[in-house]
């Protein structure tokens, strides 16, 4: 068994969808597995020139690869069904392609109502926190308890280990949210309720030794959506938001913007064990002609794109990662 993992190193919205799409195009995976979160996520994917925003469904479906919502996820059944309908209406075949792990948990209407009352964290109000709370307090409902999901249920052990139809199972794990939102490593309590690191992927039924590449995804600046104050005072951040189209794919909320925090990035690389690193949205800083980042408490200002890229590459030398700088609309 081989598994590659795509993880976000900041606060979500760094372009995991784009990297996952690229990896699916260039590898022969047998499965794509979403390993954490629910429909709080919004993955923007450009496939054959058309824009898709998926919340639950992994990107494997665009390539005819078996796509599974893993046991680390929570599922809103109505949302799931409507995503399937939408994909079908745009000509993407989903039959026999999309599954939900029997032991994934369900987001109920009660969870949605409760999350709707949140005034502290600034959640996406998609019922995520209450669904995980009930999972861990052992009062949750699981996918296998839902009669309407019968056709979509999959037993992960059977599928990946015991009775696999494939000679060698090759998995792409598609993460949601990001390191800064991780329940354990993020800026608690301004976090989501799931495991957004590589650790979270392994919880979905694969042995650690199966992991091959760990693709970390970051932006050359940072964005965050939620209640805490994140954006700096400089009006340039509003400019970045506009040029970078930094508005939530799920809620449409404006994302707060700030410069890259190099310490956070390095921590996320080390804790996840990243060996391939994609920086997105280089072209946004190039367009506004400002290339800044924080190194500890100091702000570094570069005079050109190449200098910033060189500095980052040098500083990450001892982590042994392969680095790609990519623009918003570029392929990798």
Q: Which of 129, 175, 180, 200 binds ligand IMP (CB under 6 A)?
A: 129
Contact partners, residue 15, CB within 8 Å, separation at least 6: 217, 219, 278, 280, 281, 326
Nearer to ligand IMP, 34 or 66 (CB): 34
Active site residue 118: no
Q: Of 6-14, 24-32, 89-97, 280-288, which segment contacts ligand IMP by CB under 6 A?
A: 6-14
Query: Per rule CB under 5 A, is residue 222 in the interface with Mg ion?
Result: no
Contact partners, residue 330, CB within 8 Å, separation at least 6: 283
Q: Which of 12, 71, 175, 244 binds ligand IMP (CB under 6 A)?
A: 12
Alpha helices in the chain (DSSP H): 16-26, 77-89, 109-115, 128-136, 156-157, 198-202, 236-243, 262-272, 282-288, 305-315
* 299, two tokens: 């702000």
Sort 222 into a burial class: Cβ within 10 Å, 0-12 / 13-18 / 19+. buried
Q: Of 90-98, 117-125, 195-203, 303-311, which segment contacts ligand IMP by CB under 6 A?
A: 117-125
SS3 111: helix
Least CB distance to ligand IMP at residue 307 (A)? 29
Q: Which of 13, 134, 159, 222 binds ligand IMP (CB under 6 A)?
A: 13
- Looking at 22, 43, 55, 105, which residue is catalytic? 43
Pairing label, strands 211-219, 2-8: parallel
SS3 304: coil
- Looking at 4, 8, 13, 115, which residue is catalytic? 13
Query: Per rule CB under 6 A, is residue 69 in the interface with ligand IMP?
Result: no
Provide φ and ψ at 65, rounded to 5°: -105, 135
Question: Is the distance from CB of 52 to CB of 44 less than 8 angstroms?
Answer: yes
Q: Of 38-46, 130-138, 181-189, 288-296, which segment contacts Mg ion by CB under 5 A?
A: 38-46
Q: Which of 8, 13, 182, 246 binds Mg ion (CB under 5 A)?
A: 13
Query: Per rule CB under 6 A, is residue 122 in the interface with ligand IMP?
Result: yes
Nearer to ligand IMP, 4 or 174 (CB): 174
> What residues make contact with ligand IMP under the rule CB under 6 A?
11-13, 40-42, 121-124, 126, 128-129, 176-177, 181, 190, 192-193, 225-226
Name the residues annotated as catalytic.
13, 43
């Amino acid at each position: 068994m081989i598994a590659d993992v795509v993880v976000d190193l900041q606060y979500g919205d760094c372009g995991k969808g784009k990297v996952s799409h690229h990896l699916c195009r260039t590898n022969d995976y047998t499965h794509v597995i979403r390993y954490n979160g629910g429909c709080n996520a919004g993955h923007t994917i450009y496939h054959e020139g058309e824009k898709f925003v998926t919340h639950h469904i992994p990107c494997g479906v665009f390539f005819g690869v078996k796509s599974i919502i893993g046991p680390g996820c929570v599922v809103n059944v109505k949302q799931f069904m409507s995503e399937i309908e939408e994909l079908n209406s745009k000509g993407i075949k989903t039959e026999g392609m999309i599954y939900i792990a029997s032991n994934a948990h369900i987001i109920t209407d009660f969870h949605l109502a409760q999350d709707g009352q949140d005034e502290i964290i600034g959640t996406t109000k998609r019922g995520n926190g209450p669904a995980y709370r009930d999972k861990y307090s052992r009062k949750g409902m699981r996918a296998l308890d839902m009669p309407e999901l019968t056709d979509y249920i999959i037993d992960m052990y059977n599928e990946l280990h015991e009775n696999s139809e494939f000679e060698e199972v090759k998995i792409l794990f598609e993460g949601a949210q990001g390191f800064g939102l991780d329940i354990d490593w993020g800026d608690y309590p301004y976090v989501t309720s799931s495991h957004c690191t590589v650790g979270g992927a392994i919880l979905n039924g694969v042995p650690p030794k199966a992991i091959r590449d760990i693709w970390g995804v970051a932006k050359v600046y940072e964005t965050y959506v939620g209640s805490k104050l994140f954006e700096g005072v400089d009006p340039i951040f509003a400019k970045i938001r506009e040029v970078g189209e930094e508005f939530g794919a799920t809620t449409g909320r404006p994302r707060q913007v700030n410069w890259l925090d190099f310490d956070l990035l390095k921590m996320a690389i080390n804790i996840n064990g990243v060996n391939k690193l994609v920086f997105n949205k280089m072209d946004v800083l190039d367009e506004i002609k400002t290339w800044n980042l924080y190194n500890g408490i100091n702000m570094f200002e570069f005079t050109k794109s190449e200098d910033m890229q060189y500095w980052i590459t040098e500083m990450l030398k001892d982590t042994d990662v392969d680095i790609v700088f990519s623009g918003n609309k570029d392929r990798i």
